[in-house]
Structure formats: C-alpha cells, structure tokens
Structure 1
Amino acid sequence: MDPDLALLLNGIVSGLLLGGLYAAAAAGLSVSFGMLDVVNIAHPAFMVLGAILVALLQGATGLDPLLLAALVAPGFWAMGALLYGAYHRFFERRGDEAIQGLAFFFGVMFIIEIGIVLAVGPEQHFADAAWADTTWRLGEIDLPLRMLVPAAVSLAAIGALALFLRHGFTGRAIAAVSQDREALRLLAIDPVRIKRFAFGLSLALAALAGGALAVVQPVDAASGHIFIGRVFAIVIMGGLASLGGCVLAALAFGVVENVTATFYGPSWSPAVAFGALLLVLAVRPQGLFGRAA
C-alpha cells in the first residue's frame, strides 16, 4: 500500500476513535444544553473530576477503569440533581438563568478545578487497564485498544441513552420539557423534577466520559479547558438536542482534527475543525440534525 494512503487511512481511523471520546464528552452536554436549555459551562470540569477519581480508584483497587466509571456515575447523578436544584432555586425560577446562571456554572467550574488541586495536587493522573497496551492490526491499519474500547463503550452508552429518550416515559418527558412545559403539567408531570433527573443524567454521562478520558490520556485539574470549545461546537454542529447528530459531529470533528494534525501539524487542527463548524452552520444554521425553526 502507498505510504501516504496508509497514513491517511490510519489518520481517519484514529480520528474516528478520537471522535468516540468527543461524543462521550458531548453527549451529557447535549442533554443539559440542548434538551434542558441549561448552559453548563462546567461540564468538561465534571468530566475531568470523573477522570481523576477513576484514576485514583483504579490505582487503589486495580479494577478496570471503565467499570469504575460506571460505579461512580450514580454519585455524579446525585451531584447533578443537587446542583440543578440550587440552579433552579436561585436563578431559573427567577428568570435569571441567562447571565447569572452562566456565571454560576463558571464559578462551579473554578471551584472544581481548585478543589482538585487542593485535594490531589496539580500533577497529572492516568488510569491503566490490562487491555490498554494491546493493538490490533488490520493490514496497514492500527487499532489501539486504548482508544477503541473507550470509544466503543461510549457509543454503546449513548445508544442506550437514545433508546431511553425515545421509548421510555421519563425519556420522552425529558425530550419534551424544553418544548412545552405546560403540556407536561397538564399530564401531572413536574417539569422541575424531570429537569433535575435529566441534569443528573448529564453529569453521570460526564463521569463515564471521564473514565474513558483517563484511559486515553493523562489528566490534571485544567484538562477540561481544551474540551470546552470542542464539546460546545460538537453539540451545536450536531443540532443541540440530537444525540445522533452529536455522535456524527463528534466523529467528523475527530477525523478532521486528526487528519489535519497528521499531514499539516497539530497547530492547524483546531483551526480547520472549527472552520468546518462554521461551514456547517453557514449551510445549516440548525446543525446537521437540528430542526429548522
């Protein structure tokens, strides 16, 4: 095989695996931002918190990091439910969620970062797994399990979430809460209770994404900064409330970034990826799978 073609194919495959990680990071934000209209700018910080917690637990117990991520996810759900309760009481109920609510989540983000530094220090943390050093090879294409397994688990979790939102009663209520709250009240459904549950679900997804992130790369308290722009761009490109669009946008984002970094250097990859976002929004302002107003 031509070396340039092999390099391109490996860049595309690695980009798809990277996109799986991006999809995991963006899925929870798609729930909070796209479905609940809660601009949780601290979402990547919760993902990093989950990653560091998983890394510490893995070092102490030796359990698989993705299993540990699933085990800590309920705790993140409870944290999210409490956080949304405070957000609703002090901002959303009074109609101050636009600017003051955004400032609230900025504050939460910095509290998480400072808390991580005070608790475990500024050094990086990493979770290892028994399968992480294995690489499958298909012809000229490398499939490192360190990237493949977290991407597969993340996409499976997003698929399960999509089925829940489409077929479960509570899932359909979550999908409807930002569209017609009064209709939910007529059905004797408390919109605040639904949003509290869904926001907790978004942070549980952040914990799962954190477990995947801890396997893929070392993380420290400030690692969430590099994901803020990416996850919001992916959610917007995918169409806000569309999980399918979120996954497709994440995969495309990962491929564009990785191929650009492979052939032109890593400094060009963010510019090209965000340029692709602008191009998509110029053609479809509602995103790839969003509905036109």
Structure 2
Amino acid sequence: MDVSWDLTLNAIVSGIMLGGFYAAVAVGITIAFGMLDIVNIAHPAFIVVGAFLAYISINTLGIDPFAMAPIFAALGFVGGRLFYRAYYHFFERRGDESLQGLAFFFGIMFIVEIGLVLTFGVDYRLVDLSYLGSTYTLGFVQFPLRLLAPCLIGIAMVAAVQLYLAKTFTGRAILAVAQDPEAVRLVGADPIHTKEIAFGIAVATAIAAGVLLIIIQPVEPSSGREFIGRVFAICVLGGIASLPGTLIAAMILGIAETLTSTYFGPSWSPAVAFGVLLLTLAVRPTGILGR
C-alpha cells in the first residue's frame, strides 16, 4: 500500500467533517438509549423522514431546507412526545419496555419505510443547493461545503443540546431521570413528563439530521438502515449518556471510515469502524467519557 501524505491528510479532514455529521445523527440515540434507556431502533427511520421533508421543501415548496429545518424539528418534537406517550402507556408503565418496546419501535420503523415507499417510490432523491457546490482549499487540503456545512451544523446541534441539558431545569431533570426517577419527583419534576420532553428532543434532532443527510448523499426510504448499527456504536463508544463523548466517538468513526475507504475500499469501512468500537470497549468498557 502506497501512502500519500496529501491523500491521508485529506482523508482525515474528510473524516472529521463526516464525524460532525455523524454526531448530529447520533445525538438523538444518546438521549433515547443512553439517558432514557429506550432502544429506539426507529431512530434512523426518523432521520430519513427529515431527509424527505427537506426534499419536499426545495422541490415542491421552493424553500431552502435549512430555513425549514427548525419547523421540521418542531414537528419532530411534537411527534416524539406522542410516540413516547404511546410507548409509556402500552409498555413502560407495565414494565414491558424491553422486548415488547423494541418490537414497538421495529414496527414504527417498518411503517415509516412503507409509508415513504408508497409516497415517494424507491428511487434515490437528492437535494441540490447551488451554494453548497463550492469547495474551499487550504494548501492541498479540500473542504467541500456540501460536507463542511453539515459538520458545523452537527457540532452546533450537539453543543446546543448539551447547553440545554446543563443550564436549564428541565435539562438537568432529563440528566437525572435516567439515574433516579424518584429523586426527580423530590425536586418537583414529573419523570414521565421529563422523559416525554427528552424523547421529543431526540426525535427533533433526528429530523434535523435528516436535512443534513440528504445534503450529503442521495436517500431512499430504506437508507436509514445503514445507520442503525452506527448510531448505537457511537453512543456506546462515546460513553452512555455523554454528548461530548458522542461527538468524540463520531469523529473517531468518521476518520476510521474515510481512511479505510481511501486505502482499502468503502466495503471495509464498517468493519474497521466497529473494530475501533470493540477495541475501545475492551480497554474501557464504559466508553471514552463514560463513568
């Protein structure tokens, strides 16, 4: 294997930019799985819903999807709260949230996919924004705006959610509810309402990440399946319930994937990425920033 330092550095930079996008994709699963202990296997399907909403925005409404992203995220927040209400009513309050709850989200995933197929067909769709076609160059390192913009937005999403969790009463209640729901009651917060808000945030970030996804690559209704393993891997690798850890883990996987794709071919990327996960867990089972 011939090593070109120019090629390697570009691959690393591309991996960092890809990692910023991966962080946006995984932040919702860190909340749902890491903080609420809800195995939301339908999370990638919600991402694809966001991608198709972006497609409708530009191709049907003629509105820039970035401008519509806050509205899409708000709809996702409302939908996420309704999903949690259903999950709590039928499963969590009866103590059936493990296998039955997993089946619930599997069902949602397939219903969403079928609905998208019936609405849009199985063809790949892509959002083409002219201002994202440029590439910035620093020396021999290239920064495609189509990848740089989702990276920066993804990092901003993680920072915003982390700031909300750390600085607001509801955010601190979300951090506490996964550890001790009864203690949350003692400080005047309702654990169920708190989890409902947290799950709404998780789905809202998934919808927003979908807008970024269709900017980067074409999507079709089942595109989310390729992210199922990746988002859980990032969540575990970074440390359960750690958003800074999620960002670091996303960067690690992004770099691992781009280096592998560059020198060994894209088919090896998932194997190497999960190899990094297994190695990290062997050395530190709690993840990078886990306690």
TM-score norm. by structure 2 comes to 0.98
Partner deviation per Cα, 1:232-269 (whole Å, 9 max, x = no partner): 00000001200000000000000001001101111211
**2:167 corresponds to which residue?**
167
**Letter of the structure 2 residue corresponding to residue 14 of structure 1:** S
**1:269 corresponds to which residue?**
269
**Letter of the structure 2 residue corresponding to residue 94 of structure 1:** R
**1:32, distance to aligned residue in structure 2 (A):** 0.6
Please list every run of 5 or more consecutive structure 2 residues that lacks an aligned counterpart in the other structure.
none
**1:119 corresponds to which residue?**
119
CA distance in 1, matches of 2:212, 2:158: 13
Partner deviation per Cα, 1:85-140 (whole Å, 9 max, x = no partner): 00000000000001000010000000000000011211111112232110001110
Number of aligned positions between the proteins: 290
Are 1:154 and 1:208, in contact at CA under 8 Å, matched by a contact in 2?
no
**2:32 corresponds to which residue?**
32
CA distance in 2, matches of 1:280, 1:265: 23
Q: How does 1:244-263 map to 2 (within 5 A)?
A: 244-263=244-263
Are 1:181 and 1:191, in contact at CA under 8 Å, matched by a contact in 2?
yes
CA distance in 1, matches of 2:90, 2:144: 46
Are 1:68 and 1:211, in contact at CA under 8 Å, matched by a contact in 2?
no
**2:77 corresponds to which residue?**
77
**1:133 corresponds to which residue?**
133
**1:200 corresponds to which residue?**
200
Q: How does 1:7-22 map to 2 (within 5 A)?
A: 7-22=7-22
**Letter of the structure 2 residue corresponding to residue 42 of structure 1:** A
Q: How does 1:98-117 map to 2 (within 5 A)?
A: 98-117=98-117
**Letter of the structure 2 residue corresponding to residue 203 of structure 1:** V
Are 1:133 and 1:146, in contact at CA under 8 Å, matched by a contact in 2?
yes
SS in 2 for 1:163: helix
**Letter of the structure 1 residue corresponding to residue 254 of structure 2:** G
**1:66, distance to aligned residue in structure 2 (A):** 2.1
Report which stretch shifted further, 197-206 or 125-134: 125-134
Q: How does 1:29-108 map to 2 (within 5 A)?
A: 29-108=29-108
CA distance in 2, matches of 1:271, 1:120: 32
**1:3, distance to aligned residue in structure 2 (A):** 7.8
CA distance in 2, matches of 1:230, 1:268: 14
**1:145 corresponds to which residue?**
145
**2:213 corresponds to which residue?**
213
Distance 1:184 1:11, change over 3 A: same
**1:281, distance to aligned residue in structure 2 (A):** 0.2
Partner deviation per Cα, 1:47-106 (whole Å, 9 max, x = no partner): 001101111111123332222222211001110000000000000000000100001000
Partner deviation per Cα, 1:16-42 (whole Å, 9 max, x = no partner): 111111111000110111111111000
TM-score norm. by structure 1 comes to 0.97
Are 1:22 and 1:250, in contact at CA under 8 Å, matched by a contact in 2?
yes
Identical residues among aligned pairs (%): 53
CA distance in 2, matches of 1:127, 1:267: 25
**Letter of the structure 2 residue corresponding to residue 277 of structure 1:** L
Residue 281 in 1 paired to residue 267 in 2? no
SS in 1 for 2:131: coil
Please list every run of 5 or more consecutive structure 1 residues that lacks an aligned counterpart in the other structure.
none
